[in-house]
Structure 1
Amino acid sequence: MSFQAYLTTIKAKTGKDAADFRKLAEEKGFTKKGELIVKAGDITNWLKTDFELGHGHAMAIYALLKGIKNESSQ
């Protein structure tokens, strides 16, 4: 599955896009001024619990928050 396919599926399931998840992560204290300050497990647990995302989809959001990937990544 391409990174874009992950983002599309996440948007369809949650109604939220990358910008929404960045904002939510900041509000939850997982990021500070856009920089991730928690571990991957904290992010994946949050996304699995609150949004019922699978591990792969949660890791895609982690990659966005960490700066490994962005909205135009393949």
Structure 2
Amino acid sequence: MSFQAYLDTIEAKTGLTPRQLVDIGKERGYDDPAVKATVIVEWLKDDYGLGRGHAMALVHVIKNGPTISTKHVGTDGVHRDESEQLWLDGAATNPARH
């Protein structure tokens, strides 16, 4: 599953765009480098029912922003992404999908 697919699934499960969840996380101070991933994972599990893999995708975006490694960009593996920039504003508005 691509990184973007994780974010799209999170949106489908929670009804919130990745950007909305990132903003909530930042309001809670989870973008502070001192905050451990386990704290964020627990929040996402308790409040939104997300599993560890999906939660860790959001941890990355909360902590590092929407840029990902180019390791899988343009490859043909199952973890491939179209771009190193993740789309956070909802699957329906993603220009790469249209």
**TM-score between both structures, scaled by the size of structure 2:** 0.62
Deviation of residue 18 (structure 1)? 2.0
Aligned CA-pair RMSD: 1.8
- Residue by residue over 1:22-55, the C-alpha shift from the partner in whole angstroms, topping out at 9 and shown as x without a partner, is 2101222223xxx544110011010011000010
- On the 8 A contact 1:18/1:71 being kept in 2, the answer is no
- The corresponding residue for 1:71 is 86
- The corresponding residue for 1:17 is 17
- On the 8 A contact 2:30/2:63 being kept in 1, the answer is no
**Residue 59 (structure 2) pairs with residue 62 (structure 1):** yes
Aligned residue type for 2:53: G
Q: Give the unaligned 5+ runs of structure 2.
A: 69-84, 88-98
- How many residues align? The count is 69
- The corresponding residue for 2:2 is 2
In 1, Cα distance between equivalents of 2:49 and 2:33: 21
- On the 8 A contact 1:36/1:65 being kept in 2, the answer is no
**TM-score between both structures, scaled by the size of structure 1:** 0.79
Q: Give the unaligned 5+ runs of structure 1.
A: none
The structure carrying a bigger strand percent of its residues is 1
